[in-house]
Amino acid sequence: MIWIKPLVIENIRIAFQSIRGNLVRSVLTILIIAVGISALVGILTAIDSIKNSITTEFTRLGANTFSIQSRGTRIHIGSQPGRTMNYSYISYTQARAFREQYTFPSTVSISVLATQTATVKSDTKKSNPNITVRGVDENFLTIAGYELESGRGLTFKESFEGDNVALVGDALVKKIFPSELDPIGKYISVGSGKYLIVGVLKDKGSGFGNSADQIVLLPFSNVRQYFARPSMNFRISVMPKSAQLMDASMGEAEAVFRNVRGLSVADDSDFLVEKSDNLVRVLLDNIKYVTLAATVIGFITLLGAAIGLMNILLVTVAERTREIGIHKAVGANSRSIKNQFMIESIIIGQLGGILGIILGILAGNGVSLIIGSSFVIPWQWMMVGVLLCLVVSFGAGVLPAIKASKLDPIDALRYE
């Protein structure tokens, strides 16, 4: 076993000499392999980044929350049981009735979207028309995962009486107020109303390319007055006091809201009660198809790389026929010749794999940078890339290695 190590080292040295001697073809083959691996690792790294972003964004809504949302119009035809329901939205009256009737140990919040295209003005500056305005109550910050940078939150009185007060996001404050000016106690104009800033929200970052800090939170009763529109759809969010109470809390919530809706025992529920992680699960389930497609594309590219690598090694065998004859003439057997070409193939494959992994990580984390997610080091996909390169290079090197090992030494020495 002692003689194996020097022989392997010698084969590796000869392999690098051959790669340098056929530099153009070797570099092209390495690049082909690198493209395949970078496509695979890059796309899968980007998908991991998107998964992290999705999970992070929805975790901020609260790990133990669920919401009641409208299901839309349900139509019963013919002799089917039940009756036609036309609740395509949750009204203010229903949302408030639920909050008053729901006595389970939980925190309940009701909110409504006013607009996503508002322009907010201070005395000297104004924002772009891309500010989200939402009507909320005093419990919204707790359930939605917002924290205060300065000031205070809304009170129960302000929420239900519709006072002209506002909570503003950190990014919006930086746009419409000079950096040295404390916004607490200052006034802003939103739509046709003027509001006193009572709190500034902590920087929450961005997800999916959108900033969660370009937002204004107003009392929902105020939004009903200044942003009134037909069929205003309210959202009810509930956070049980304990995660163990989630199922019981959801069951109680459905029963209470069925009563609020006026549904009979024979009627189906015309609304949805969903955990905050349900949407995450749906999105992640859909992303797995993208992962499958990316994997297939990567394998197809690697197949092309394997063919290219096999081709360059076959050409190398033809060019080095005389060299192979000399090696056999001085005592090299078929096995050592075969190992030499296999090692050369594996080295080219691994060089391409390393380059591809580096490019793939950079490309994948470029997506992370765009969507504001954290830097991802895909250890799993890096290992997969290394193993794939090993398999590809081994498979591509078998035929040329066998061909080289079977050359007749006399014919090889006479080859020109």
Mean pLDDT of 75-91: 54
* 325 has a pLDDT exceeding 70: yes
pLDDT of 416 reads 55
Question: Three-state SS for 175?
Answer: helix
Place 132 in a pLDDT band, splitting at 50, 70 and 90. Answer: very high
| Contact predicate 267/83, CB 8 Å | yes
* 406 has a pLDDT exceeding 90: no
Query: Quick one: CA torsion of 373, 375, 377, 380, rounded to 10 degrees?
Result: 0
- DSSP letters of 90-127? --HHHHHHHHHH--SSEEEEEEEEEEEEE-EE-SS-B-
Question: Three-state SS for 350?
Answer: helix
pLDDT of 249 reads 92
DSSP summary character for residue 245: G
- Per-residue pLDDT tens over the stretch 347-375: 888 888 888 889 888 888 887 777 767 77
In percent, the amount of the chain with pLDDT more than 90 equals 24
Strands (E), 262-412: 271-275
**Count of other CB atoms within 10 angstroms of residue 40:** 25
pLDDT of 6 reads 66
- H helices, E strands: number in the chain: 13, 13
Mean pLDDT of 140-148: 86
pLDDT of 59 reads 56
Residue 109 has φ and ψ, to the nearest 5°, of -130, 140
pLDDT of 73 reads 42
Instruction: Give the chain's mean pLDDT.
Output: 80
| Contact predicate 42/363, CB 8 Å | yes
Question: d(Cα 387, Cα 235) in Å, to the nearest integer?
Answer: 49
- Per-residue pLDDT tens over the stretch 237-247: 998 888 788 88
pLDDT of 277 reads 63
Q: Which helix (H) or strand (E) holds 133?
A: strand 131-136
Let me know how long the chain is: 416
pLDDT of 50 reads 76
Residue 208 has φ and ψ, to the nearest 5°, of 60, 30
Q: In sequence order, which residues have a C-beta less than 8 Å from that of residue 43 and are 6 or more positions away?
A: 294, 297, 298, 360, 364
* 20 has a pLDDT exceeding 50: yes
Place 410 in a pLDDT band, splitting at 50, 70 and 90. Answer: low
Residue carrying structure tokens 């090694």: 313
- Residue with the bigger pLDDT between 82 and 395: it is 395
pLDDT of 303 reads 79
**Count of other CB atoms within 10 angstroms of residue 136:** 25
The string over 242-272, giving b where at least 16 C-beta atoms fall within 10 Å of a residue's C-beta and e elsewhere, is eeeebeebbebbeebbbebbebeeebebbbe
Nearest Cα to Cα of residue 234 among 91, 331, 20, 25: 91
**Count of other CB atoms within 10 angstroms of residue 67:** 21
DSSP summary character for residue 162: T
Mean pLDDT of 130-142: 92
Residue 125 has φ and ψ, to the nearest 5°, of -135, 165
Strands (E), 39-83: 66-70
Please, what is the angle between helix 379-405 and helix 278-319, to 10°? 20
Is the entire prediction scored with pTM above 0.85? no
Select, from the ranges 172-186, 289-303, 395-409, the one with the highest average predicted confidence (pLDDT).
172-186
Q: In the structure encoding, which two tokens stand for residue 236, read together?
A: 């009810």
Mean pLDDT of 179-187: 85
Q: In the structure encoding, which two tokens stand for residue 323, read together?
A: 């060299």
